[in-house]
Amino acid sequence: MRVLVADDDATSRLVLSAMASKLGHACTVVEDGSRAWELLSSEGIDVLLTDWMMPGLDGPALCRRVRNELQDHYVYIVLITGMGQHEHVLEGMSAGADDYLIKPVDPFAVQTRLVAAERVTALHRQVVDFRDQLEQANIELLERSLTDPLTGLGNRRRMEQDLDAVHARALRSGRTFAVALFDIDHFKLYNDHYGHQAGDEALRTIASCLRGSARSGESVYRYGGEEFLVLLPDCTPDDALDAAERICRSATDLAMPHGFRPSEPPLVTVSGGVSAWALAPSESVTELLHDADEALYRAKSAGRNRVCLAAGTLGRRDERAAIGS
């Protein structure tokens, strides 16, 4: 352990440091409470043997400061006093001391205090380690609860949290945002003919493609089944349509064979519907998703492998097939 002796009496400092060193502890000595506090707040001290009366901070004041300000590291404090009355001892313990010694100190008493200090500080280190492990485990559990296990994308719960946050920010600041809802074309036919394992692999591949095609600030989620959602913050409807078409093309560019598709091309493709929130305080996130879903339905009805913008969206452009068909 690292032991700090704070005492304005040179003889006491010498005796206490010799006892601590003899027991195998690294020992530092100071003459006043102010210097002791400097070391305590920066040097990782485990045990403080402090006199009651000394210049700068006295023993009780030093105890209180350690307890109030050193939250991430436990220091075992032994208060040394020439006043053996019970009220003085209780005053020191109330200030934060763990134990006390009466001057002149007995070597055996010092040894027993240091044995107790070693046990207590070791227990505190274990508690801190366990707390850190628990915090990390909680972070990992939270991350898992917000992640789709098949694709590694954010799941529906994370999507809802992020959408609510972006919507609230838009209401406060007047910043626009959009969502693009994608669906894998003829996925049931793919799943039925190639099998569920191949279907899962196709979902993972498309998820990776969408995530890789998204730009900085754009977030991708598994909406459910073979549907995915991309959150597009700070963009106009036209910008959102451009982004959705870029993502749609990237899926076609994978050239994943879909030999049982009833229409051209014989590849795995996606269709998309885009809806933008355009400074309409009365429009909810639920309505925005509904509009994107309707636009997705129109994209599928128009031949699939394309993106449509929600009807009535301000700044609307003509709908275009994602691959130029």
Q: Which residues are catalytic?
A: 226
Query: Is there a contact between 274 and 180 (Cβ–Cβ < 8 Å)?
Result: yes
Q: Which residues contact 185 (CB under 8 A, 6 or more apart)?
A: 261, 268, 269, 270, 271, 300, 304, 305
How far does Cα 282 stand from its chain's mean position?
A: 32
Residue type, 4: L
Residue type, 199: G
Distance (Å, rounded) from C-alpha 305 to C-alpha 322? 6
- Give the pairing type, strands 76-81 and 99-102: parallel
Q: Is the dihedral of CA 110, 13, 33, 69 positive or negative?
A: negative
Tally Cβ neighbours within 10 Å of residue 50.
28
Alpha carbon of 66 to those of 94, 113, 271: distances in Å? 13, 19, 63
Residue type, 282: S
The string of DSSP letters for 119-135 reads HHHHHHHHHHHHHHHHH
